[in-house]
């Protein structure tokens, strides 16, 4: 299995998302409050996984602009849940950086004005030890 394929497979596995279920209605992008901040839009997350273009996806700004508000997950008519893909992609990055899970002590130094607080909450929700 190629690296790209392997990564796409891991995203599918972690997120539980089946990108083939997407019928490209765009409701995720329509509902996303961070849409304008993103370079890759929520409805594109799914096709990046389907096309196994994970390299690009993890490099994108969107990865860290997504608020994990899960509006897209709530409203997706096909149960595809693009927000979960981003969550999984973040997890992939974090794991590849050597499994550096967050500990509560590290949070203060991560805080800066530009970081949306929801991101920290979401990261902590997902990656705490």
Partner 1 sequence: MQRIGVFVCHCGSNIAATVDVKKVVEVIASEPGVVHAEDYQYMCSEAGQEKIAIAVREKKLTGIVVCSCSPRMHEATFRKAAERAGINPYMVEIANIREHCSWIHKDINEATEKAVILARAAVAKVNLNTPLTPGESRVTKRALVIGGGIAGIQTALDIADAGYKVDIVEKTPSIGGRMSQLDKTFPTLDCSACILTPKMVEAAAHENITIYTYSEVEKVSGFVGDFTVDIRKKARFIDADKCTGCGACQEKCPSKKTPSEFNRGLGTRTAIYTPFAQAIPNVPVIDTEACIKFKTGKCGLCQKICAAGAVDYTQKDEIVTEKYGAIVVATGFDTISLDKYDEYAYNQSPDVITSLELERVMNAAGPTHGHLERLSDGKAPKEIVFIQCVGSRCSDDRGKPYCSKICCMYTAKHAMLIRDKYPDVNVTVFYIDVRTPGKNFDEFYRRAVEQYGVNYVKGQVGKVIPQPNGKLLVQGSDLLDNKQILKEADMVVLATAIEPNKDVRKIATMLTASIDTNNFLTEAHAKLRPVESPTAGIFLSGVVQGPKDIPETVSQAGAAAVKVVGLLAKDKLMTNPCTAKADELLCNGCSSCANVCPYGAISYEDTLVNDHGIRETRRIAIVNSALCQGCGACTVACPSGAMDLQGFSNRQILSEVDAICR
Span 79-108, contacts to partner 1 by CB under 8 A: 79
Q: Is 99 helix (H, G, I), strand (E, B) or coil?
A: coil
Phi-psi map region of 26: left, alpha, beta (phi>0 left; psi -120 to 50 alpha): left
Measured from the CB of residue 92, what is the shortest distance to partner 1 in angstroms? 24
**How many degrees, rounded to 5, is the angle at CA 17 between CA 91 and CA 88?**
5
Measured from the CB of residue 6, what is the shortest distance to partner 1 in angstroms? 28
Quote the tokens at residue 92.
């992939």
Residue 71 as a binder of partner 1 (CB under 8 A): the answer is yes
Residue 25 as a binder of partner 1 (CB under 8 A): the answer is yes
Taking the least distance from each CB to partner 1, the nearer of 46 and 92 is 46
b vs e for 26-59, b when ≥16 Cβ sit within 10 Å of the residue's Cβ?
Answer: ebbbebbebeeebebbbbbbbebbeebbbeebbe
Measured from the CB of residue 7, what is the shortest distance to partner 1 in angstroms? 24
CA dihedral 64, 115, 125, 76 (to 10 degrees): -50
Measured from the CB of residue 90, what is the shortest distance to partner 1 in angstroms? 22
Residue 28 as a binder of partner 1 (CB under 8 A): the answer is yes
Residue 61 as a binder of partner 1 (CB under 8 A): the answer is no
Residue 4 as a binder of partner 1 (CB under 8 A): the answer is no
- Judged by the rule CB under 8 A, the positions of this chain that interact with partner 1 are 21, 23-32, 35-36, 41, 43-44, 71, 75-79
């Amino acid at each position: 299995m190629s690296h790209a394929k392997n990564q796409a497979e891991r995203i599918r596995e972690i997120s539980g998302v089946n990108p083939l279920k997407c019928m490209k209605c765009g409701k995720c992008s329509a509902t996303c409050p961070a849409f304008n901040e993103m370079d890759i839009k929520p409805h594109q997350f799914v096709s990046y996984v389907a096309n196994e273009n994970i390299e690009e996806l993890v490099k994108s700004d969107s990865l860290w602009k997504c608020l994990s508000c899960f509006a897209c997950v709530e409203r997706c008519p096909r149960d595809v849940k693009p927000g979960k893909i981003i969550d999984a992609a973040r997890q992939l990055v974090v794991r590849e950086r050597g499994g550096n899970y967050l500990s509560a002590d590290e949070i203060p130094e991560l805080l800066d004005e530009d970081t949306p607080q929801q991101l920290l909450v979401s990261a902590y929700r997902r990656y705490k030890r």
